Amino acid sequence: MSDRPRFFDDLAGVAGGAISALAGLREEAEAMVRAQVDEVIRRLELVRKEELEAMAEVAANARAGQEAAEARLAQLEARVAVLEARVVSLESRPKADE
Band the pLDDT of 56: cuts 50, 70, 90: very high
Mean pLDDT of 33-52: 90
Domain boundaries, the chain: 1-46, 48-93
Cα 5–chain centre separation? 61
pLDDT band at 96 (very low <50, low <70, confident <90, very high): low
Read off the pLDDT of residues 18-28 as tens digits, 9 standing for 90 and up: 788 888 888 89
Contacts of 47 (CB under 8 A, 6+ apart): 55
Classify the C-alpha dihedral 38-39-42-46 as positive or negative: negative
Largest CA distance in the chain: 139
Mean pLDDT of 41-45: 87
Burial readout 54-93 (b: 16 or more C-beta within 10 A, e: otherwise): eeeeeeeeeeeeeeeeeeeeeeeeeeeeeeeeeeeeeeee
Report how far residue 76's alpha carbon sits from residue 78's, in angstroms, rounded to the nearest whole number: 5
> Is pTM, for the whole model, over 0.75?
no
Alpha helices, DSSP H, located in the chain: 3-44, 49-92
Name the percent of the chain lying above pLDDT 70: 93
Average pLDDT, the chain: 87
